[in-house]
Amino acid sequence: MTCGLTTLARAAGDEPRQVPQTRADVLLSFAPVAKRAQPSVVNVYASRVEKRRRNPLFDDPIFRQFFGDGGQPRAGGPSAQSLGSGVIVDPTGLVVTNHHVIDGMNEMKVALADKREFEATVLVDDPRTDLAVLQIKGKESYPAMELGDSDLAQVGDIVLAIGNPFGVGQTVTQGIVSALARTTLGGSDYQSFIQTDAAINPGNSGGALVDMNARLVGINSAIYSQTGSSIGIGFAIPVNLVKIIVAAAKRGSHEVKRPWLGASLQGVTHDIAEGLGLDRPAGVLVSEVLDTGPAADAGVKQGDVITSLDGQDVDTPDAFGYRLSTRPLGGTVPLVVRRNGKPLDLSLKLVSAPEVPARDPVTIHNQSPFSGATVVNLSPAVAEQFSLQRARNGVVVTEIEDGSAAATTGFQKGDVILSINDARMTDTKMFSRATAARDTDYWRLTLVRGGQVVQTEVGG
């Protein structure tokens, strides 16, 4: 037989890709692949006693991430519940799922393909990638799925999507890789989704996208739909990004540290390409370089065009961010830039953003509009965490208590508060003193939200 189904035992990247040659090839079954992969795919049931807020992504009628029941409280009780899928990636019981499946939940159960159920705890919850790692509470060996290499995926590759759509039980659907490196979908800071036409629906979120060797190539995460059901356009988070989250969990870390560039990037438009003497838009333009950081140490300069990282071409800031985020900390990585029309080879250190100054968090509990907000000092690490590209001053809102004055006022996570009543906010202690003042009925604020400076007044 010449079909790719005969290559289960071959090494990654060695299998030939070929179309069916005969009618017999077309009639071959995907059952061997499904049989090998299915035991590693689980159902994830998450719940919370109190009512949780609706995920704002559900308000977007085009790109919907999915919980099965929309993450809304079910009738007859105050608890919120969500349903999704997950993949066992280590025999010790590590399960990868989507962040949005367990977001805000405090009780998790995992149901295996053989109908056994186990309680689970969250080891790593990473909203920036929309990924989470759970630990099954049970001391035995679990059927783990082999991790593939998403950089080897090609448009046209056959893939299977395995999950629990609509809560009806484990289901397998088949399709092809429709596109690679899809961006601007929302839900993740690292935009490089694998697009597939394998049918995925509510409840598939967190499930497996596998290749014809039953290896994991992606975590199903989102669909393009105006109805909430599959129309043949689904998106999966590449497994090479998943590996970084799993590695953090195995190290015992509850947060993911990634390499830091220390520079701001923007896309290269046709006008920019013409101005730089490029024959076409390619690479990413360095718009700003911090005085200290890996980019400065490597010799990157404002106006450089980065064309590749570690031998991989990059054409958008999202593509660069994805490539950098999948590299482990430590050592260096080759970087190619164009400067004055000529290529230049540089070496970029793979280090995480520093926590300087220290966060020194402060939570406000008084009669001001800021009550219920937690702020921290701005550092490169905080700027990375909240994707604050050009923030250099102020304090950053990191938490908002439900139903608090801060929530009612409209503060959001990631807001950078620059000044209150014309006084610059240099650190959290100053912020605490400023919000304790009671000699005014209105508060004049200057803050940065979504890269835009906003000036407003709020009532006392």
Digit-coded pLDDT (tens) for 1-60: 334 444 444 444 555 666 666 766 655 778 889 899 999 999 998 887 654 444 444 444
Q: How far apart are CA 235 and CA 209, in angstroms?
A: 10
- The fourth-level CATH superfamily of domain 362-459 is PDZ domain (2.30.42.10)
Name, of 133-147, 309-323, 437-451, the range with top average pLDDT. Answer: 133-147
**161 vs 219: CA distance, rounded Å:** 9
> DSSP per residue over 282-330, as a string?
-SEEEEEE-SSSHHHHHT--TT-EEEEETTEE--SHHHHHHHHHTSPSS
Contact 391, 447 (CB under 8 A): no
**Percent of the chain residues topping a pLDDT of 90:** 43
What span, in angstroms and rounded, lies between the C-alpha atoms of 344 and 286?
14
CA trace torsion 401, 404, 405, 407 (10° rounding): 50
For residue 322, CA distances in Å to 63, 182, 239 come to 20, 11, 12
User: Which tops the pLDDT comparison, 254 or 304?
Assistant: 304
3-state secondary structure (DSSP) of residue 7: helix
* Domain 263-349, CATH homologous superfamily name and number: PDZ domain (2.30.42.10)
Q: 203 labelled as ligand-binding?
A: yes
Q: Which one-letter DSSP state was computed for residue 147? A: B
pLDDT band, very low/low/confident/very high, at 182 (cuts 50, 70, 90): low
The pLDDT value given to residue 443: 86
Answer yes or no: is pLDDT of 201 > 80.
no
pTM, whole model, 2 decimals?
A: 0.76
pLDDT tier for residue 63 given thresholds of 50, 70 and 90 = very low
Q: What confidence tier does 285 reach under pLDDT thresholds 50, 70, 90?
A: very high
Q: State yes or no: 204 annotated in a binding site.
A: yes
> Side chain identity at 384, as an amino acid letter?
E
pLDDT for 204 equals 79
Q: What pLDDT score was predicted for residue 73?
A: 42
User: Mean per-residue pLDDT for 133-150?
Assistant: 93
pLDDT tens digit string along 268-280? 888 888 888 887 8
Quickly tell me which residue has 């509470």 as its tokens: 137
Confirm whether 38-256 and 263-349 share one CATH topology.
no
pLDDT tens per residue across span 385-434: 888 876 788 999 999 998 899 999 999 999 999 999 989 999 999 999 99
* 72-116 pLDDT tens trace: 444 444 466 778 899 999 999 999 999 988 888 888 999 998 889
pLDDT category, 364, cuts 50, 70, 90? very high
Alpha-carbon gap, residue 256 to 182, rounded angstroms: 23
137-160 per-residue burial string, b: 16 or more CB within 10 A, e: under 16: eeeeebbbbebbebeebeeebbbb
Q: Which active-site residues does the annotation give?
A: 100, 130, 205
3-state secondary structure of 431: helix
SS3 274: helix
In single-letter form, the type of residue at position 453 comes to V
With cut-offs at 50, 70 and 90, classify the pLDDT of residue 66: very low
Which pLDDT value is given to residue 128?
85
Element (H, E) at 335: strand 332-339
Per-residue model confidence (pLDDT) at position 190: 54
- Residue 153 half-sphere exposure, CB side, CA atoms within 13 Å? 32
Token pair 């139903």 is at which residue? 403
Secondary structure class of 271 (helix, strand, coil): helix
- What b/e string do you get for 92-120 counting C-beta neighbours within 10 Å, with b at 16 or more? bbbbbbbbbbbbbbeebbbbbbeeeebeb
Mean pLDDT of 349-368: 92
Environment class of 52 (CB within 10 Å of its CB; exposed 0-12, middle 13-18, buried 19+): buried
Q: What does the pLDDT look like over 447-460, one tens digit per residue?
A: 999 888 989 888 76
pLDDT above 80 (res 200): no
Q: How confident is the model at residue 315 (pLDDT cuts 50, 70, 90)?
A: confident
Q: How far apart, in whole angstroms, are the C-alpha atoms of residue 318 and residue 83? A: 29
Residues 6+ apart with CB under 8 A from 422: 444
Helix (H, G, I), strand (E, B) or coil at 218: strand
For residue 61, say if its preceding peptide bond is cis, omega within 30 degrees of 0: no
Q: Which of 133, 108, 109 is nearest to 123 (CA)?
A: 133
- Determine the average pLDDT of the residues in 159-179: 83
Q: How far is CA 194 from CA 34, 150, 206, 431, in A?
A: 20, 9, 14, 43
| Nearest residue to 317 (alpha-carbon basis) of 294, 360, 284 | 284
Consult the annotation and say whether 130 binds a ligand: yes
Q: Are 65 and 100 in contact (CB under 8 A)?
A: yes
Average pLDDT over residues 273-297: 88
Spatial contact of 186 and 235, defined as CB atoms under 8 Å apart: no
Give the residue-averaged pLDDT of 148-177. 85
pLDDT at 71 over 50: no
Cβ(416)–Cβ(391) below 8 Å: yes
Angle of helix 239-250 relative to helix 317-325, nearest 10 degrees, comes to 40
Domain boundaries, the chain: 38-256, 263-349, 362-459
Dihedral (CA of 198, 204, 205, 206) sign: negative
| 416 touches 401 (CB < 8 A) | no
Give the CATH class of 38-256.
mainly beta
Indicate the average pLDDT of the chain.
82
